[in-house]
A and B are shown apart, each in its own frame.
Chain A
Amino acid sequence: MITILVFVSVTAAATAMSRKLSLYMRRSVVSRPVTFLLTMGGISLVAFVCAAVLMLAQGLEKTLVDTGSTDNVIVLRKAAQAELQSQIDRDAANIIESRPEIAMAGDGTPLATEDIFVIINLLKKGTGDMGNVTVRGVGPKAMELRENVKITSGRAFAAGTQEIVVGRRIAENFEGVAIGHSLKFGGALWTVVGVFDAGGSGFDSEIWGDVNRIMPAFGRPVFSSLTFRLRDPGVFEALKADIEGDRRLNYLELSREREYYRKQSGIMADFIRVLGLVITIFSGFGAIMGAMITMYAAVSNRTIEIGTLRALGFRRKTILATFLLESICISIAGSVVGIVAASFLQLLVISTINFGTFTELAFGFDLTDDVIVSTLIFGFIMGVAGGFLPAVRASRMNIVNALRSS
């Protein structure tokens, strides 16, 4: 917020101070189209990288956060970072499901699902590499509980059978998962009967089947997680305190589902951001140097003009603001070009390992207002950093020496 205020106030002040010479500034920029385009191009490349990295981190966060619903609660073993490391026994699950705070499904049973979370290997399309894929055994209310999950082709798996449904991203990225095909895992053959769309969330990168068939297939006696809908989302804190204080259940921990997935995305999104920031800052230095060289050249080429303007009565601060604003304008223009170019990345989908679960997760680039503002601010910083010293030089020029350079 402070950065935005600085951005707006410096630009506004520079605009106000250089208002008298705005026409001169605009024409000067346009009169050197090649220099202008090259400098702008350099800055737009950096802005593109900056926006792309932020969009990637944002896309990952969105994918995982959207996986969770605000009204749902997920129960895991305490200290488990993810479902992979979590265990809940049947008794504990039954006790929790009998709580009155849990919403009821249409058939009068609790709107909850006990899930088992296992990982299998599948062949990736095109590359010939194997990739880790999440297989989630779910209860009969899983689809009703996770409203963003919809069967788009085929049908849902039938309870008590070796049928499975695959997420949209799995269907797109892996071999042998088309409807009618069979997959071999957990010592059994599983038939794909449908494809589901989970609205771009993490479930799109999962395979779902009946929890009561998948658990014995993998020799698991316990669930990985329990997810349920609250009748009233406001009672979460009280319920959490109650369950976590119960001697039979105090090895468990309740989280709002959305918060759980937000935490899941944190490690990887932060990794992308830090890595991207380092790349952006280093390439940013190059762009700043480019802008600085351009602006020094502009000052040098216009020494007589600067001397003349000063002789006519234009003050130092007007000259300073004019050159600074020129640099800021070039940088902002470059940033806008970079953002527009980066916006096309939204058409791409990235598939990578999710560090939280060690399974493949597909996600896209997400261009949000935050990404746009951050990239523009970065462009502004490049403009100020590249333009400030040349602008100071222009404003501090001795009038007589400047005029003598003719």
Chain B
Amino acid sequence: MEIPVLTNISFEIPEGEFLALMGPSGSGKTTILNLVAGIDRPTSGRVIVGGTDVTTLSESALAVWRASNIGFVFQFYNLMPVLTAIENVTLPLLLTKMNKKERAERAAFALEVVGLGDRIHHYPRQLSGGQEQRVAIARAIVSDPTLLVADEPTGDLDKKSAEDIMDLLERLNKEFRKTIIMVTHDPRAAEKAHIIRNLDKGELS
């Protein structure tokens, strides 16, 4: 049985904007994020990101597109536990033509940007939750994507760490002109965004 999650949704996000998607659980926030990020497909309709209709891309083309256009920030960080911070951050660069030295420099720079320049050889288990999320953000920005999608980036963090992460996302938006779509339940986190949209029962307001 097919259960419609989102119906008649239409919205645009200008480049360089910071949008927060709010709404109760099960309202379809993450589904919107997944559609925009090209990891899910709508049954009908179009999703155009940076001029590309991602719904028309093949599975393989979509993987290539994601690698160069999307940076993911997950609620539970989703770092590879067997890799160090810099090795985790290097992962997206393995899909580019960069050589080893360039990759290492770029990953180290991304970790500097998120304030973890002194933790590059630490494994995720050796880092705090906030630090892990910073590594995840460094991984999201390292290949210089046009769009960052963040699903409850502060959902697993204490208040102080959550504030730090939101400050970092705000800085990435302002200084590095990253377009950000963030799903959150946290009104304080949403305050950092320029646009706040609410989703309820599949309808956007």
Contacts and interface: CB of A to CB of B under 8 A. Distances in A.
A37 interface: no
Contacts of A314: 63, 67, 95
A369 B172 CA distance: 60
Contact of A311 (B39, B81, B82): B39
A400 interface: yes
Contacts of B95: 20, 312-314
A237 interface: no
A403 interface: yes
B72 interface: yes
Given A308-B74, A309-B91, A400 B66 contact: no
Interface residues of B, number: 27
Interface stretch (A21-29, A43-51, A149-157, A214-222): A21-29
A98 interface: no
Contacts of A31: 81-82
Pick the most buried of B40, B60, B63, B68: most chain A CB atoms within 10 A of its CB: B63
Contact of B66 (A20, A21, A304, A311): A311
B78 A406 contact: yes
Pick the most buried of A311, A314, A400, A403: most chain B CB atoms within 10 A of its CB: A311
A304 B78 CA distance: 7
A28 B60 CA distance: 25
Size category of the A interface is: 20 to 34
A316 interface: yes
A302 B34 CA distance: 20
Chain A's interface: helix, strand, loop or mixed, by majority? helix
A316 B59 contact: yes
Contacts of B76: 304, 406
A134 to B, nearest CB: 62
A30 B75 CA distance: 27
B133 to A, nearest CB: 14
Given A24-B82, A28-B82, A312 B92 contact: yes
B83 interface: yes
Contacts of B91: 24, 309, 312
B191 to A, nearest CB: 26
Contacts of B60: 315-316
A310 interface: yes
Interface string B2-16: 000000000000000
Contacts of A23: 83, 87
A313 B82 contact: no
A246 interface: no
Interface string B133-173: 00000010000000000000000000000000000000000
B94 interface: yes
Contact of B67 (A308, A312, A406): A312
B39 A400 contact: yes
Interface in A340-379: none
A312 B68 CA distance: 9
Contacts of A316: 59-60, 63
Contacts of B183: none
Given A21-B94, A31-B81, A316-B59, A400 B34 contact: yes
A308 B78 CA distance: 7
Given A311-B37, A312-B92, A313-B67, A403 B82 contact: no
A311 B91 CA distance: 12
A310 B63 contact: yes
Pick the most buried of B67, B68, B80, B81: most chain A CB atoms within 10 A of its CB: B80
Interface string A117-156: 0000000000000000000000000000000000000000
A313 B64 contact: yes
Given A304-B78, A403-B78, A27 B83 contact: yes
Given A312-B91, A313-B63, A305 B34 contact: no
A32 to B, nearest CB: 9
B62 to A, nearest CB: 9
Interface in A1-44: 20-21, 23-24, 27-28, 30-31
A392 interface: no
Interface string B87-121: 10001101100000000000000000000000000
Contacts of A406: 74-76, 78
Q: Give me the 3 closest cross-chain CB pairs, A-B, nearest first.
A: A313-B67, A27-B82, A20-B94
11 contacts: A20-B94, A20-B95, A23-B87, A30-B82, A31-B81, A304-B78, A310-B63, A312-B92, A312-B139, A313-B63, A400-B40
